Amino acid sequence: MKIVHSRKSRSAAIAAATALVLVPLAACGGGDGSGDADGVVEIQFWDTQATPARTESLNEIIDLFEAQNPDIRVSYVGLPSDSYEQKVDTAIATGSTPDVITASITDSANWVAQGALAPLDDRFEEGGWPDLISASMVETARSVVPDHQLYFAPDTGLANTMWLNLGILEAEGVAVPTTWDEFYDAAEQLTHPERNQFGYIFRGGAGMFPQVLDAMYGQSGVSSFFDDDGNSTLNDPRNVAALERYVGLFGNQTASADLTNEYTNMVAQFASGSGVLMNHNIGSYQDHVEALGAENVLGLQPFPSAGGPVTVSGATVLGQAMFAESEHPDEAWRFIEFFLAPEGNAIWAEQSGKIPSNLEVAEQDWIVEAQPLQAAIAALNDPATQVLREPFYLPEYNAIAKTQLEPMWQAVLQGDMTVQEFLDTAAAAYTEAEASYRERVS
């Protein structure tokens, strides 16, 4: 009997152990409870590009916001930029999205296609923001979605920039280039592989497409991504010629390791002086200043193209979006507004080194003194400037660039594929995507 008894208790013990394992774990969950007894509403805020520096500025902004809005508490969640997409996709698929999220135009296009974001037009109007925020940035934000509504409030903008290490140019007596021809000459003069100095920094790896577009359309002067019939202009002969010339830089005026270059490596090269000229958006300004000192950093806007006009691409915007399933849309919007208002906008733009969307902030001293930001604003505001609008509204836009074009681009640089083949394939893919898009919306 004793044995039977002990066995019975053992079975019970195992069952209990199983339960014990699972139950308390569930019990210590929760914590996303919104709304306290004292009437404080908690909103969830996801940052998709978290780095220590960025987290610090966002926390500063949150502290200020909470001090002015004692009825709202913001719960910050920082997501690594390499993996936030998986997290957000899962959250959308399972209906567990936060209230507010930092968004780029590609993000917003993606999430709008999944029906996850809330349109902000009415709130934006009511708050009187159309008069206070850069109209072109708002237009860019709208242009990336099929229904042309505003799904994220643009707080900062980016522009592609040609960065120069002025210290090295001066030391070598090379003049600051003002045309594409001078640029190629400068790259050649500045290249001294034997002492670890290359004239230009090439982007062969992740995120290579903006640099390719800038080089192509900037030189060729072609002004739109598609022609009127919806055919991609990527393989326009002028673009092919432009890109062929540009590819000629690789391995000659660049390090051969640039084949797989992405942002981190590029900035490291620029900071260490092993690369002198670099095309990257304005977002890296702070990194350059920190490494080289403001006096050694120059940021140029695109040189005039063969046809005459300056063509800028990569004029993208960043901002804050609200998920449609937010239970506290009013509070979430108040937080988003904080990024648009002068105080928050200035902190955010200055610390991230981007162009502020608030018109008043754009006139502040620190902006006027920051040459690259000034140059970008001037180029964007110049009526003669052509702006290349990328079709971010195509849900495949980024996927094609990432999964198809990036490996092919590396094949081109390794000499396994011609520029013509590369651009033909790219053009075909985007033309097809555009065609099915037109079919859907018509």
Partner 1 sequence: MAMSVKSSDPLVNRHGLLARMRRGSTPYLLLAPTMVLLLVFLLYPLLSIGYFSLQQYNVSQPWDNGFIGLDNFRAMLADDLFWSSLVVTAKWVVVQVGLQLVFGLVLALIVNEAFRGRGLARAVLFSPWAVSGVLTTTIWLLLYNPAVGVNRYLADLGLGEYGTSLLASGDTAFWAAVLAELWRGVPFFTILILADLQSAPGELYEAAQVDGAGRIRRFWSITLPHLRNSIILATLLRGVWEFNNVDLLYTLTGGGPANATTTLPLYVARVAIDSKEFGYGSALTIAAFVILGLVTVLYLKLTNFGREPNE
Partner 2 sequence: MSTVPTVTERPAAAGPLATAAPVRRPTAERRRRELRDRVILYVPLSLYVIFTAVPFYWMLMFALRPAGSTSLVPWPITFEHFHTVWVGAGFAIFFKNSVFVAVMSLILTTFVALLGGYAIARYRFRGKALFLIIMLCTQFIPGAMMLIPLFDIFRTVGLINSLGSLIVADTVFQLPLSIILMFGFIRNVPVELEEAAWMDGCSRLRGFRLIMLPLMRPAIVAVGSFAFINAWNNFLFALMFLNIQDRFTVPVGLGYMLGEFSVDFGALAAGGVVAALPVVLVFAYVQKFLVQGLSAGAVKG
Binding mask of the shown chain, residues 62 to 81, with x at each position contacting partner 2 by CB under 8 A: -------------xxxxxxx
Closest to 352 (Cα-Cα) out of 294, 299, 282 = 282
> From the centroid of its chain, how far is CA 323?
19
Q: Which does 259 bind (CB under 5 to 8 A by kind): partner 1, partner 2, none?
A: partner 1
Number of residues that bind partner 2 (CB under 8 A): 54
Q: Which does 1 bind (CB under 5 to 8 A by kind): partner 2, partner 1, none?
A: none
Contact between 7 and partner 1 (CB under 8 A)? yes
Q: Which of 16, 24, 70, 148 binds partner 2 (CB under 8 A)?
A: 24
Determine the Cα angle at 276 with ends 364 and 166, to 5°: 50
> Residue 36 or 438: which CB sits closer to partner 1?
438
Binding mask of the shown chain, residues 407 to 436, with x at each position contacting partner 2 by CB under 8 A: ------------------------------
By 3-state DSSP, what share of the chain in percent is helix, strand and coil, each rounded to 5? Answer: 55, 15, 30
Contact between 205 and partner 2 (CB under 8 A)? no
Interaction residues for partner 1, span 241-270 (CB under 8 A): 254-261, 265, 268-269
Containing 59, the helix (H) or strand (E) segment is helix 52-68
Interaction residues for partner 2, span 244-303 (CB under 8 A): 262-264, 267-268, 271-272, 283, 287, 291
Return the amino acid letter for 155: D
> Residue 124 or 198: which CB sits closer to partner 1?
198
State the nearest-atom distance from the C-beta of 186 to partner 1, in Å: 18
CA distances from 175 to 42, 165, 172, 183, 289 (A): 55, 12, 9, 10, 21
Contact between 93 and partner 1 (CB under 8 A)? yes
**Strand 317-322 to 100-104 pairing:** antiparallel
Contact between 403 and partner 2 (CB under 8 A)? no
Contact between 14 and partner 2 (CB under 8 A)? yes
DSSP secondary structure letter of residue 301 = P
Contact between 96 and partner 1 (CB under 8 A)? no
Taking a C-beta distance cutoff of 8 angstroms, is the pair 74, 335 a contact?
Answer: yes
Q: Which of 40, 77, 91, 113 binds partner 1 (CB under 8 A)?
A: 113
**Other CB atoms within 10 Å distance of the CB of residue 320:** 23
Taking a C-beta distance cutoff of 8 angstroms, is the pair 190, 267 a contact?
Answer: no
Q: Which of 157, 177, 199, 204 binds partner 1 (CB under 8 A)?
A: 204
State the nearest-atom distance from the C-beta of 69 to partner 1, in Å: 34
Number of residues that bind partner 1 (CB under 8 A): 55
**Other CB atoms within 10 Å distance of the CB of residue 63:** 11
Q: Which of 9, 17, 36, 175 binds partner 1 (CB under 8 A)?
A: 17
CA distances from 400 to 146, 216, 338, 394, 433 (A): 19, 18, 35, 10, 10
Contact between 408 and partner 1 (CB under 8 A)? yes
Q: Which of 1, 26, 67, 384 binds partner 2 (CB under 8 A)?
A: 26
CA distances from 49 to 1, 53, 100, 307, 318 (A): 65, 11, 14, 38, 12
Contacts 24+ apart (CB under 8 A), 350-354: 351/53, 351/54, 351/57, 351/286, 352/54, 352/57, 352/156, 352/283, 352/286, 353/282, 353/283, 353/284, 353/285, 353/286, 353/287, 353/289, 354/156, 354/157, 354/158, 354/282, 354/283, 354/285, 354/318
Site for partner 1, rule CB under 8 A: 3-4, 7, 10-11, 14-15, 17-18, 21, 82, 85-86, 89, 92-93, 110, 113-115, 193-196, 198, 204-206, 254-261, 265, 268-269, 272, 274, 395-396, 398-399, 402-403, 406-408, 410-411, 414, 416, 440
Site for partner 2, rule CB under 8 A: 2-3, 6-7, 10, 14, 17, 21-22, 24-26, 28-32, 44, 49-53, 55-56, 75-83, 86-87, 89-90, 93-94, 96, 98, 206-207, 262-264, 267-268, 271-272, 283, 287, 291
